[in-house]
């Protein structure tokens, strides 16, 4: 009876053959006779032999682990991205290690250190709101570990990335609001050093310009959390000429905005229309249901990890790739005519 994990040496000793013969028999090597293969495999089953993953990773110099850094694990969008990553990774025999930056630069840097010390084969990253430089990402590249950015990317580092067309998504949302008669559309935006914040603002401004509506700085504000919405939305509603629509850069902020608007006595969508960005579960739970730009998180996760695996298994290097996922506007009750 063997105690602890059974090794190739244990099987070799039981059968009176060399460990290298056992190893080749387990891999179905053509040089090993069918009788020896059968004897080795039968004993391996009997002793519940499983390969040592650490020994395998040391031999192949691959851990078969992919690191993932997300700003917020409980956020619906990021949870769907992780689901997509897990599905493709599992089918490709990779394990996934997830870290959360909690929207802070300092924690993101520590996440990078943790994943590098864990000898991951590659890293998928969506950057935090606080991140304004890429030194820690360059350290990943210097270690010879490939990176793929998804959703929130850095422009100052050359690497693969997967994004949705944020500018077009925002344009579609605001164009829809204008064509349904809205003229004073408030932008509840994000950090402009984040590419998604800048791109969604650009889409908002392009829609206004194409319809000949002047952009008003007083209607454009940094407001992308429920806490900020609780303060900002009542202030906008209290002005002499309040907005007749809100475009929020995420669904949670849009849902809180919808509640506040109704609490202040405005009808939705009669007096004020609201559109969000993500089209997550919450968009079906509000009253009325929330119009939103579909962000396709599951597809983004699948594509991001596939780009990484392709990079890991490529025979030679090739230029960085950018994959853009098209968005679509899903019109529901909060912005109907």
Residues sharing a CB contact under 8 Å with residue 93, sequence separation 6 or more, in sequence order: 64
Q: What is the pTM of this model?
A: 0.79
User: Could you state, in order of their start, the residue ranges of all structural domains in the chain?
Assistant: 8-51, 64-164+297-325, 166-295+329-335
- What CATH class is the domain 8-51? mainly alpha
- pLDDT at res. 4: 57
Specify the DSSP element, H or E, that contains 78: helix 76-91
* Beta strand 185-189 pairing with 220-222: parallel
* Burial category of 222 from C-beta neighbours within 10 Å (exposed 0-12, middle 13-18, buried 19 and up): middle
Phi-psi region of 310 (alpha: psi -120 to 50; beta: other; left: phi over 0): alpha
- Along the chain (337 residues), what's the average pLDDT of each consecutive run of 10 residues? 68 88 85 90 86 52 88 90 96 95 96 93 96 93 94 93 97 98 97 91 98 97 96 97 97 97 97 96 95 96 97 91 96 89
According to CATH, the superfamily of the domain at 64-164+297-325 is: Response regulator (3.40.50.2300)
Q: How does DSSP classify residue 249?
A: S
Specify the DSSP element, H or E, that contains 234: helix 226-237
Tell me the CATH architecture of domain 166-295+329-335: 3-Layer(aba) Sandwich (3.40)
DSSP 3-state of 334: helix
Contact 308, 160 (CB under 8 A): yes
Domains 64-164+297-325 and 166-295+329-335 are alike in CATH topology: yes
- pLDDT at res. 7: 83
- pLDDT at res. 53: 54
Alpha carbon of 288 to those of 204, 277, 322: distances in Å? Answer: 23, 16, 37
């Amino acid at each position: 009876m063997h105690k602890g994990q059974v090794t190739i040496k244990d099987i070799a000793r039981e059968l009176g053959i060399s460990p290298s013969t056992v190893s080749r028999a387990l891999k179905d090597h053509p040089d090993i006779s069918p009788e020896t293969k059968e004897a080795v495999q039968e004993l391996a089953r009997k002793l519940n032999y499983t390969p040592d993953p650490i020994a395998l990773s040391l031999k192949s110099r691959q851990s078969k682990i992919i690191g993932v850094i997300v700003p917020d694990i409980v956020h619906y969008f990021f949870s769907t991205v992780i689901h997509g990553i897990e599905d493709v990774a599992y089918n490709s025999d990779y394990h996934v290690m997830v870290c959360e930056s909690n929207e802070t630069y300092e924690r993101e840097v520590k996440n990078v250190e943790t994943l590098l010390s864990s000898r991951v084969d590659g890293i998928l990253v969506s950057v935090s709101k606080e991140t304004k430089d890429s030194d820690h990402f360059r350290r990943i590249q210097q270690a010879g570990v490939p990176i793929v950015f998804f959703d929130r990317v850095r422009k100052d580092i050359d690497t693969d990335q997967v994004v949705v067309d944020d500018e077009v998504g925002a344009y579609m949302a605001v164009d829809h609001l204008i064509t349904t008669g809205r003229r004073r559309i408030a932008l509840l935006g994000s950090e402009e050093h984040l590419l998604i914040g800048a791109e969604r603002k650009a889409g908002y401004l392009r829609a206004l310009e194409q319809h000949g509506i002047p952009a008003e700085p007083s209607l454009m504000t940094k407001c992308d959390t429920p806490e900020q919405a609780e303060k900002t939305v009542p202030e906008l509603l209290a002005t002499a000429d309040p907005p007749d629509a809100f475009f929020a850069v995420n669904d949670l902020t849009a849902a809180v905005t919808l509640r506040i608007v109704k609490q202040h006595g405005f009808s939705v969508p009669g007096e004020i229309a609201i559109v969000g960005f993500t089209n997550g579960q919450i968009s079906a739970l509000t009253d009325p249901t929330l119009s939103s730009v579909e962000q396709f998180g599951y597809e983004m996760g699948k594509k991001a990890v596939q780009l990484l695996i392709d990079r890991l298994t490529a025979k030679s290097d090739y230029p960085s790739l950018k994959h853009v996922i098209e968005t679509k506007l899903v019109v529901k009750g909060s912005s109907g005519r």
